[in-house]
Amino acid sequence: MSEGLRERKKRETRQRISDIATGLFLERGFDNVTVAEVARVADVSVNTVFNYFKTKEDLLFDREGEMEDLPGKVVRERRPGESALAALRRDFLDAVDTRDYRYGFHEGSDRFARMIAASPSLNARLWTLNEAREEALARTLADEAGADAGDPTPALAAAQICAVLRRLSAYAVQRMIAGETVEAIAPHLRQHAELAFDQLESGIGAYCVRREAAPENA
Amino acid sequence: MSEGLRERKKRETRQRISDIATGLFLERGFDNVTVAEVARVADVSVNTVFNYFKTKEDLLFDREGEMEDLPGKVVRERRPGESALAALRRDFLDAVDTRDYRYGFHEGSDRFARMIAASPSLNARLWTLNEAREEALARTLADEAGADAGDPTPALAAAQICAVLRRLSAYAVQRMIAGETVEAIAPHLRQHAELAFDQLESGIGAYCVRREAAPENA
DNA sequence: CCATATTTTTGGAGTCACTGCAAAGTTTGC
DNA sequence: GCAAACTTTGCAGTGACTCCAAAAATATGG
């Protein structure tokens, strides 16, 4: 009752197009596959592809959009006595230790990473994803802290946190692209993460202080 | 001797195309002006436009690319006894107080801001500009701190700093787009900046701690 | 001043993402 | 079955961008 033939077909077609597109993109590179080709392989018209997906990039990032609220969710579910930052640190380290997909550090992520790195438009897409994530986290922080409407604190905190998460992921991805195994990277990534969250926690005020000029004469 | 006719003409043509393009974009919106139209008004062929500028976006961001190393420069020129962060705070507040262009907070910036905000592709461009800025700052911090090659500290610090700078600019720009005057925004922007740099300096570890569950019974 | 090499500009043809429209095909409710 | 609602398709077009070879402008050497 809940789903008629029409709706099922739509869901299936959309899925098929997205799957075929992802496969082709992974195999031959995003910029070396035309939408027309995706359509041909999926046995639909080009217009049908654009019926389901607004842009070529959406063929890939369709599902990834669900991870938009990941950090927000972690904060909302933090434990009693735990700060937002402590929760995010715990979650990130957990993801590293379990080789979980959610921060891009996963056994098979390197193919994906390579494909994205090779395409400027996919890179641009990643940034807007990060932007959305930052906004979502800012909203959550504002809620959870009971901040006033004009209070800039949550937005600023979210910006810092997301910047660091992005940087940590970028580090892992970079080494994966270079061909290193997840196992080889994990301990370093862990170390970087500890440092990063320490920085966020207690600040970088003392970093890189210029030496005073030596006094002219004793 | 230093510049022949050929080189002068090239420079002039490039400048003319860029100026005309910027004018048209500001007047009618980036997406409502075609490259063909820019070419027509500049009295060159479309191919000549693409000879000088790789993409339509480059017609605008050509010169802005020079500001890529702004935060890096500020750090390199910090005063004796001053930390990287203290120098950046000083520079930002100075820019706010003098209504200087360099962080996007300037009397006439609203037209530019509106144009950019209205166009997704220009927005994407802003992100890559920010990325370049972050990388440049990371390099500078690494140099100035004498960090080892693999040390993640400078890159992480740069990420946090650039994220905050971006957010502060975004705040100002948002209010300018909404039609507020620079004078009306300045004191708030100042306040936000102080808060932001305090956060960077001493961390956000204590932010948003979840209350402990009340004990079941006394 | 002329011939020639080098560089710049141009026109033309083509690719690709993406849009709008109207016709054709499919599913649904009755 | 029939009509309404919806989906798919073909077609024509726009706009950024590329490639190529011809034409125009400029530089170089005698």
B169-194 pLDDT, tens digit per residue, is 999 999 999 999 999 999 999 999 99
- Work out the mean pLDDT of chain A and round it to a whole number: 94
As given in the structure block, the two tokens for residue A29 are: 């590179």
Contact A195 B156 (CB under 8 A): yes
Name the minimum distance, in Å, from the CA of A78 to any CA of chain B: 7
Which of B79, B123, B160 comes nearest A160 by C-beta?
B160
- pTM for this model (two decimals): 0.94
Fold of A5-60: Arc Repressor Mutant, subunit A (1.10.10)
| Residues having Cβ less than 7 A from any atom in strand C | A 4-7, 9, 33-36, 46-47, 50, 54-57; B 6, 9-10, 13, 43-45, 47-48, 51-52
Q: Cα(A203)–Cα(A84) distance, rounded to whole angstroms?
A: 15
Average pLDDT over residues B36-58: 98
Average pLDDT over residues B79-100: 97
pLDDT of residue B197 exceeding 70? yes
Give the residue with minimal CA–C1' separation from D15.
B34
Instruction: Name which of B80, B97, B77 is nearest B88 in CA terms.
Output: B77
The amino acid occupying position A79 is R
As given in the structure block, the two tokens for residue A193 are: 């993460």
Average pLDDT over residues B36-65: 96
Average pLDDT over residues B163-170: 98
Q: Cα(B181)–Cα(B178) distance, rounded to whole angstroms?
A: 9
Average pLDDT over residues A171-197: 98
The model's confidence at residue A218, banded by pLDDT at 50, 70 and 90, is very low
Whole-number Å distance, CA A22 to C1' D20?
34
Which comes out higher in pLDDT, residue B217 or A66?
A66
Q: What pLDDT score was predicted for residue B65?
A: 79
Q: Cα(A116)–Cα(A176) distance, rounded to whole angstroms?
A: 13
Q: What pLDDT score was predicted for residue B2?
A: 65
Q: Cα(A59)–Cα(B100) distance, rounded to whole angstroms?
A: 43
Contact B208 A81 (CB under 8 A): no
**C-beta separation of B187 from A150 below 8 A:** no
Q: Cα(A125)–Cα(B122) distance, rounded to whole angstroms?
A: 13
Q: What pLDDT score was predicted for residue B216?
A: 66
In chain B, what residues touch A128 (CB-CB under 8 Å)? 123-124, 127
Give the residue with minimal CA–C1' separation from D25.
B6
The model's confidence at residue B218, banded by pLDDT at 50, 70 and 90, is very low
Q: Cα(A168)–Cα(B153) distance, rounded to whole angstroms?
A: 11
Q: Which bases in strand D are touched by protein, i.e. have an atom under 7 Å from a CB?
A: 6-11, 14-20, 25-28
pLDDT of residue A35 exceeding 80? yes
In angstroms, the Cα distances linking A71 to A64, A191, B85 are 14, 20, 27
Of all residues in chain A, what percent carry a pLDDT higher than 90?
A: 89
Instruction: Name which of A160, A22, A171, A180 is nearest A104 in CA terms.
Output: A171
